[in-house]
Structure 1
Amino acid sequence: FLEFNYMILQAYDFLMLFRKYGCRRQAGGDDQWSNIIAGAELIRRKEQEAAYGLTFQLLETSDGQKMGKTARGAIWLDENKCSVYDFYQYWRNVEDAKVTQCMRFLTFISMDEIHQYEKLEGAAINDAKIRLAYEVTAIVHGQEKAKQAEEAAKSLFGGSGDDASVPTEAVSRDQLNSLLIDVLASLQLTKSKGEARRLIEQGGLYINDRQVKELFAELKEDLFKNGELLLRMGKKRYIKLVLIG
């Protein structure tokens, strides 16, 4: 019932856009085709005018899910909602089979170069992923920030480069000696205390490259080096905590 209503509302939106602004064309993903056609048909019946739809192939993961969704939510273009580093890392970790497709859809890399990347196998595919991540990030956030994100990734995963672009969260001295579970939840690094607890139980939380094994471990001042400590959550998510106050 809700899906049926969605089609009606989108069709009516198209009609109103036509009446108010003379809009005759609507673009969207392949999954919007029937909704767009419904709007074009409504315009034809109500106004005796032609309207048109244009759809684009969706980027999907190997299991058919829309790309751009993660366990933490959508990949935002706004760096206030998704840091440049996290944006870069999303494209750096795209499935092997999707790398060159993303290059064709989202970058200005020449087709000759893309054909060369299609020949890569095994670990060599990482070169293509690095290029993809840089190019998409540069288009959205600019070359300077893309380079900073690339350097941050090199610093964290390769032991070289500048980590200045690693996502940073401020921690006040009032939070010292609090349970790590509470700190992670309060900084919204996890959705809840339960998620933070599971992260520790499953061995996925590291501080300065040391695994946190104690479920009720506390955030101690001696964990900070020059006022900073590096959290790793899972295999590839890094956050720098900076002590203030």
Structure 2
Amino acid sequence: MYGKSMSISDGMIEKYFVLAADVDSKTLTRIKKLLKDSSQNPRDIKRELARSIVALYHGNAAAIDAEQHFDRVIVNKDAPEDMDEVTLEADVSIIDLITSEGLTKSKGDARRMIQQGAVRIDGKKVDEMNFVISKGFKGVIKVGKRRFLGVR
């Protein structure tokens, strides 16, 4: 919900405050002024919108958690705290692992992601199709922008 709010176009911010957020007229007037101020970054106003919407439906604590998660995963491109984890019982190829754990739809999709440089292990790009992860490996695998797997 937080991320969806952050992805709206700048021209829709005011409408979302009116229709989706529970804000008073004083806050709405302040938002309108901020939107007209060219020195104000619309991203900051969207953050306020996203917090308001999440807080309305899920509470203030959830809004804070959602913002922190967004900053960690989207802005800073770090791994989320709540990612799936797997323990390797044997050596496994990167293609087999990311396919079997649902990070890619198929082995062909896994190969394409590797070719495009979208597969990383502990931040390092995987560029070998036959890369094998050893049984004792511990770290984080990232596929694309938002799919993560912890290996323990």
- Provide the rounded CA distance (Å) in 1 between the counterparts of 2:66 and 2:83: 13
1:231 lines up with 2:142 in the alignment:
yes
What does 1:153-168 align with in structure 2 at a 5 Å threshold? Answer: 153-156=70-73, 157-158=75-76, 166-168=81-83
Provide the TM-score with structure 1 as the length reference.
0.48
The residue matched to 1:188 in structure 2 has which SS? coil
Structure 2 counterpart of 1:179, from 64, 89, 93: 93
Structure 1, gaps ≥5 residues long? 1-86
What does 1:91-130 align with in structure 2 at a 5 Å threshold? Answer: 91-109=5-23, 110-119=27-36, 124-130=41-47
- Provide the rounded CA distance (Å) in 1 between the counterparts of 2:60 and 2:141: 26
1:143 counterpart residue number: 60
- Provide the rounded CA distance (Å) in 1 between the counterparts of 2:37 and 2:109: 38
Q: Kindly provide the CA deviation profile for residues 63-122 of structure 1, in whole angstroms up to 9, marking residues without a partner as x.
A: xxxxxxxxxxxxxxxxxxxxxxxx433332333333333333221234213313422558
Q: Alpha-carbon deviation of 1:151? A: 1.8
The CA RMSD measured in Å over matched residues stands at: 3.2
1:201 lines up with 2:110 in the alignment:
no
User: Kindly, what percent of the aligned residue pairs are identical?
Assistant: 25
Structure 2 counterpart of 1:133, from 43, 50, 56: 50
Q: Alpha-carbon deviation of 1:128? A: 1.9
- Provide the rounded CA distance (Å) in 2 between the counterparts of 1:113 and 1:136: 17
Larger Rg: 1
- Provide the rounded CA distance (Å) in 2 between the counterparts of 1:123 and 1:219: 47
The residue matched to 2:148 in structure 1 has which SS? strand
Change in CA separation of 1:181 and 1:164 when aligned onto 2, cut-off 3 Å = closer
- Provide the rounded CA distance (Å) in 1 between the counterparts of 2:141 and 2:81: 9
**Do the aligned partners of 2:113 and 2:143 also contact (CA within 8 Å) in 1?**
no
1:170 counterpart residue number: 85
Give the total of aligned pairs: 147
The residue matched to 2:17 in structure 1 has which SS? helix
Relative contact order, higher structure (CA 8 A, sep 6+): 2
Provide the TM-score with structure 2 as the length reference.
0.71
